[in-house]
């Protein structure tokens, strides 16, 4: 049995259907790329997996967790196991890098002292180790807002690792980065996938990047799965259809 | 063809201008009539104003100290010296300090309560719309009732003294800062909070790490502004028996101790100016530091 199972998942917003009946199963330990043009429902799908958005219909299950229907403490526990990084990095810009990384531990190991900005020595060491993996420990005390986009995204990955997640959801992680930084971020994601065995589900705009890094690609169009297979199986015709390419 | 178009256009423009002119004249006449009508109701008339004005000057002349240049810096026993004018300075300073402390305590406690309530009064942080509604209306009540009414109420209930003034100012501070804080929350960036939520953080950590770092400089700036306002307010509250320098000012006005009136007023003006400058400086530094 696959670990993440999505069945007949639908999401309706006021006037639009963002996700319209998706069925996918995902193996643990792989990098899955979700491709398609903007508005295809990629972001909504990812947000439903960690429940930033609630599904209208259908179910999401992970092992024996009924992700689509849990609430309260169980939901927060699921979110801590299912980390997320964002297109705009979503760091707290006025706090230093170390605190930003420590924030990742709040869902997993929360105590009242945290509310006063106090974290245990163990967590601090943990955070520094995670920063060090991405060569960021030198800027641990710098304010997050002063970093470049690429650095911010890698800090966000370090923050995600603090959650000790089983899955990492990445919502357009490189869309606002230049090619050099984009490569660095993708390499870092590859690294945590290969070294820690964390499943990665990644929304990508660039087909080139998706083909290079992903083990499996899922193509969405109008909220439906129109392609599901290995990068090699993605023909030029299908990708043209996926992106409605400007050959008209 | 094109000529007739231009002609047509000009015609329409003329009609528009005529219409606008009509409205301008109509509004001007309306405002003028309203002015005349309302001044009739509150009974303003020129002759009374003119005959009253010199009396205003009389009072100002009366409260001004009679200082003499050759005895200006002599001791408090000599008439015409500054120290004669300010013979009661130690008492004034003590009362001024009391006023200052009233404002300080009221601002600190009021801000803390306002901060607590602001989370429930902002659309994007309130747990549900009922709590939002109730908190908003509560804050409106605290803000809507003038401080002086609260002060009269608490002087009546708790007796004459600073505590009544402190509570009155505290309530008003809570009401106005609570509203301002909640609006700062509503304008905050949702993305850091989203990240906290997505990592499994609870509501408290979302507020502490996702929201507060963003809004804190704004909140501090508002608190300092409120402190300035409270310094002035606490002077006025003294008039109804709520302690501080205002109570003394009320006393000397009633007893017609003319020179003491000006002595106290100058002292108050000096205090307000220095607090304004100081907090303006602090605010500027806090905003620039970010």
Is B192 close to A91, i.e. CB distance below 8 A?
Answer: yes
Q: Which residue of chain B is at minimal alpha-carbon distance from A53? A: B198
Q: A57-62 and A4-12: which strand pairing?
A: antiparallel
Q: What is the mean pLDDT of chain B?
A: 89
Contacts 24+ apart (CB under 8 A), B274-279: B275/B227, B275/B228, B275/B231, B276/B228, B279/B224, B279/B225, B279/B227, B279/B228
The ipTM assigned to this model is 0.88
What is residue A247's predicted lDDT score, i.e. its pLDDT?
46
- The pLDDT of B97-109, averaged and rounded, is 94
What is the span of the domain harbouring residue A10? 4-243
CA distance B132 to chain A (A): 21
Say whether residue B197 is in contact with chain A using an 8 A CB cutoff. yes
pLDDT in tens, B16-73: 999 999 999 999 999 999 998 888 888 777 787 888 888 888 888 888 888 887 777 7
Q: Which of A76, A79, A95 sits opposite B213 (nearest CB)?
A: A95
Test the B interface: residue of A78, A99, A103, A162 with most B CBs within 10 Å: A103
Is A90 within 8 Å of B214 when comparing Cβ atoms? Answer: no
Task: Sort out which chain A residues have CB atoms less than 8 A from B196's CB and list them.
Answer: 103, 106
Here the CATH number for the domain that contains residue A12 is 3.40.50.300
Give B209's contacts in chain A (Cβ within 8 Å).
92, 95, 99, 103, 106
Chain B touched by A77 (CB under 8 Å): yes
pLDDT value at position B1? 59
Counting the structural domains of chain A, the total is 1
For residue A201, being part of any structural domain is answered with: yes
Instruction: Establish if A158 belongs to a structural domain.
Output: yes
How much is the average pLDDT of B2-7? Answer: 82
Cβ contacts (< 8 Å) between B204 and chain A: which residues?
115
Q: Is B290 an interface residue toward A (CB < 8 Å)?
A: yes
Would you place residue A117 in the very low, low, confident or very high pLDDT band (cuts 50, 70, 90)? confident
Digit-coded pLDDT (tens) for A223-248? 889 899 999 888 888 888 887 755 44
For an interface test with A, which of B191, B200, B219 has the most A Cβ atoms less than 10 Å from its Cβ? B200
Query: Does residue A196 belong to any structural domain of this protein?
Result: yes
Q: Mark out the alpha helices in chain B (DSSP H runs).
A: 2-41, 46-63, 82-85, 89-121, 129-144, 147-158, 162-186, 191-198, 203-205, 212-237, 245-254, 258-289
- Asked if the Cβ–Cβ distance from A106 to B205 is below 8 Å, we say yes
Whether A248 is covered by a domain: the verdict is no
Coil, helix or strand for B201? Answer: coil
Which chain B residue has its CA at the smallest distance from A167's CA? B199
- 8 Å CB contact of B210 and A52: no
The whole-number pLDDT of residue A184 equals 93
Residue B91 dihedral angles phi and psi, to the nearest 5°: -65, -45
A54 touching B, CB under 8 A? Answer: no
CA distance B208 to chain A (A): 6
- Reported as a single tens digit per residue, the pLDDT across A118-166 is 899 999 999 999 999 999 989 999 999 999 999 999 999 999 999 999 9
Q: Higher pLDDT residue, B102 or B282? A: B102
Q: Is A195 within a domain?
A: yes
């Amino acid at each position: 049995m696959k670990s993440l199972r999505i069945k007949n998942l639908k999401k309706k917003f006021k006037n639009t259907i963002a996700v319209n009946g998706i069925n996918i199963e995902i193996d643990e330990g792989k990098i899955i790329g979700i491709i398609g043009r903007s508005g295809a429902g990629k972001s909504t799908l990812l947000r439903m997996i960690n429940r930033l958005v609630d599904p209208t219909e259908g179910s999401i299950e992970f092992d024996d967790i009924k992700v689509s229907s849990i609430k309260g403490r169980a939901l927060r526990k699921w979110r801590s196991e299912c980390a997320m990084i964002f297109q705009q990095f979503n760091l707290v810009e006025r706090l230093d890098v170390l605190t930003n990384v420590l924030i990742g531990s709040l869902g997993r190991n929360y105590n009242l002292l945290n509310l006063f900005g106090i974290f245990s020595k163990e967590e601090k060491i943990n955070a520094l180790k995670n920063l060090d993996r991405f060569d960021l420990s030198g800027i641990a005390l710098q304010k997050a807002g002063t970093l470049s986009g690429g650095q911010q995204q890698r800090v966000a990955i370090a923050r995600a690792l603090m959650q000790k997640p089983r899955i990492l959801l990445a919502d357009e992680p490189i869309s606002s980065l230049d090619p050099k930084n984009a490569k660095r971020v993708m390499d870092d994601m590859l690294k945590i996938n290969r070294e820690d065995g964390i499943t990665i589900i990644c929304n990508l705009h660039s087909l080139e990047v998706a083909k290079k890094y992903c083990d499996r690609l899922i193509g969405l169009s109008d909220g439906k799965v129109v392609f599901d297979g290995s990068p090699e199986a993605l023909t030029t015709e299908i990708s043209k259809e996926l992106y409605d390419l400007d050959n008209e | 063809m094109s000529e007739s178009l231009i002609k047509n256009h000009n015609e329409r423009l003329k009609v528009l201008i005529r219409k606008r002119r009509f409205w301008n004249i109509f509004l001007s006449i309306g405002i003028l009539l309203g002015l005349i009508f309302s001044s009739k109701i509150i009974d303003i008339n020129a002759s009374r104003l003119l005959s009253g004005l010199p009396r205003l000057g009389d009072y100002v002349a009366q409260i001004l100290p009679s200082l003499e240049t050759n005895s200006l810096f002599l001791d408090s026993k000599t008439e015409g010296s500054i120290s004669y004018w300010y013979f009661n300075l130690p008492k004034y300073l003590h009362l001024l300090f009391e006023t200052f402390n009233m404002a300080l305590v009221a601002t600190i406690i009021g801000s803390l309560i306002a901060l607590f309530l602001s989370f429930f009064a902002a659309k994007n942080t309130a747990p549900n719309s009922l709590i939002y509604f109730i908190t908003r209306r509560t804050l409106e009540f605290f803000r809507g009732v003038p401080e002086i009414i609260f002060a009269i109420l608490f002087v009546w209930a708790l007796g004459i003294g600073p505590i009544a003034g402190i509570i009155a100012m505290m309530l008003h501070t809570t009401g106005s800062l609570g509203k301002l804080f909640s609006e700062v929350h509503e304008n905050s960036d949702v993305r850091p909070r989203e990240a906290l939520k997505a990592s499994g953080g609870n509501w408290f950590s979302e507020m502490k790490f996702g929201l507060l770092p963003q809004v804190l400089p704004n909140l501090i700036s508002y608190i300092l502004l409120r402190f300035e306002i409270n310094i002035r307010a606490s002077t006025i509250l003294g008039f109804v028996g709520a302690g501080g320098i205002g109570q003394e000012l009320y006393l000397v006005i009633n007893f017609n101790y003319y020179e003491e009136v000006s002595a106290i007023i100058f002292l108050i003006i000096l205090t307000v100016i220095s607090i304004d400058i100081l907090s303006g400086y602090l605010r500027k530094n806090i905003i620039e530091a970010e």
